[in-house]
Amino acid sequence: AESKGELTKVDNVAHRGASGYAPENTISAFDKAVDMKADYIEIDVQRSKDGELVIIHDNTVDRTTNGSGSVKNLTFEELRNLDAGSWKAEEFSGEKIPTFDEVLDRYHGKTGILIEMKSPELYPGIEEEVAGELIERNLDKPQNEKIIIQSFNFESMKKMNSLLPAVPIGVLTSSKKDTTDQALKDFAAYADYVNPSYGIVTQDLVSKVHSLDMKISSWTVRSQQAADFLLDMDVDAIITDYPDYVLPRK
Ligand code: G3P
Ligand code: CA
């Protein structure tokens, strides 16, 4: 990011879509993010029992749909028949759990996509599948910078880096243990982004990440105060439920 006093352009990343305004990880939330001019949408990728890559945050469908059970134990047909909108508000009833394919096809070129591999340890082989979908669409090339892959699972991210050497990789953490000099140096071997929860962000951390030639995206903004804090910290991207809280400033 640029120095203070100049226009600081921070990437505005809509967390699970504009999830403050529409049900998270649905087409409504992603469309809303695009309408609000978010630079990226953030999506959580998991896999159905019969192998379809789907976009949902929790490991179970209980909180965000009218169904129950683990994502990995439900078939795609079972998942697709669920209502993923009503829990948020009646006006969203009938909203479906999107597929990874559908999101790539609908949004690539329109907005950036920050792909989180959610609990990849539950889905053996998911790295190759995600990589395959990107390669099929030519989204693994250096000119397509607006695809980033992140996870709390660092082994999975090492694997993604070797499968897709030109695609930026991010490591997610909310632990201070992952912000030591040694930990940051280890990340720099395969990652392009260090993505901490905002509670562990300090000016010192931002400087250290930048001095290792990585960027820093922080989450999850749900108040103007949190957005302002991160704007002051000079992070490169802010992951927010409310894209309108993150306006670049003079
Ligand atoms: O993008 C960062 C953030 O999504 C990580 O936490 O739980 O919302 O997936 P979570
Ligand atoms: Ca996420």
Domains of the chain, earliest start first: 11-190 (3.20.20.190)
Q: Give the N- to C-terminal CA distance of the chain in Å, as an integer.
A: 13
Q: Is the pLDDT of residue 1 over 70?
A: no
**Do residues 147 and 167 make contact, with C-beta atoms less than 8 angstroms apart?**
yes
Q: Are strands 237-240 and 215-221 parallel, antiparallel or unpaired?
A: parallel
Q: What is the mean pLDDT of residues 18-28?
A: 98
Task: Provide DSSP, 147-162.
Answer: EEEEES-HHHHHHHHH
The predicted-structure confidence for 157-186, as pLDDT tens digits, reads as follows 999 999 999 999 999 999 999 999 999 999
pLDDT at residue 247 in the model: 79
Dihedral (C-alpha) 186, 188, 189, 192: value to the nearest 10 degrees? 140
Cα–Cα distance for residue pair 217/238, rounded to 1 Å: 6
Query: What band does 130 get if pLDDT is binned at 50, 70 and 90?
Result: very high
Tell me which amino acid residue 195 is. N
Q: Is 15 a catalytic residue?
A: yes
Q: Which atom of ligand 1 is nearest to the CA of 195?
A: 2
pLDDT at residue 9 in the model: 87
User: What is the 143 CA–ligand 1 centroid distance (Å)?
Assistant: 26
Q: Is 210 a catalytic residue?
A: no
Q: Is the pLDDT of residue 4 over 50?
A: no
User: What is the 116 CA–ligand 2 centroid distance (Å)?
Assistant: 6
Element (H, E) at 165: none
- Please confirm whether the linkage preceding 65 is cis (ω < 30° from 0): no
The residue to mutate among 11, 13, 15, 64, having the most atoms of ligand 1 within 8 angstroms of its beta carbon, is 15
pLDDT at residue 143 in the model: 73
**In this structure, what are the phi and psi dihedrals at residue 192, rounded to the nearest 5 degrees?**
-110, -20
Residues contacting ligand 1 via CB (< 6 Å): 15, 42, 44, 57, 116, 172, 219-220, 239
Residue 2: count other Cβ atoms within 10 Å of its Cβ. Answer: 10
**ipTM attached to this prediction:** 0.98
The predicted-structure confidence for 45-102, as pLDDT tens digits, reads as follows 999 999 999 999 999 999 999 999 999 999 999 999 999 999 999 999 999 999 999 9
The predicted-structure confidence for 43-56, as pLDDT tens digits, reads as follows 999 999 999 999 99
Determine which one of 15, 96, 118, 146 is catalytic: 15
The predicted-structure confidence for 94-125, as pLDDT tens digits, reads as follows 999 999 999 999 999 999 999 999 999 999 99
Question: How many percent of the chain have pLDDT more than 70?
Answer: 95
Helices (H), 45-142: 76-80, 100-107, 126-136
**In this structure, what are the phi and psi dihedrals at residue 148, rounded to the nearest 5 degrees?**
-130, 145
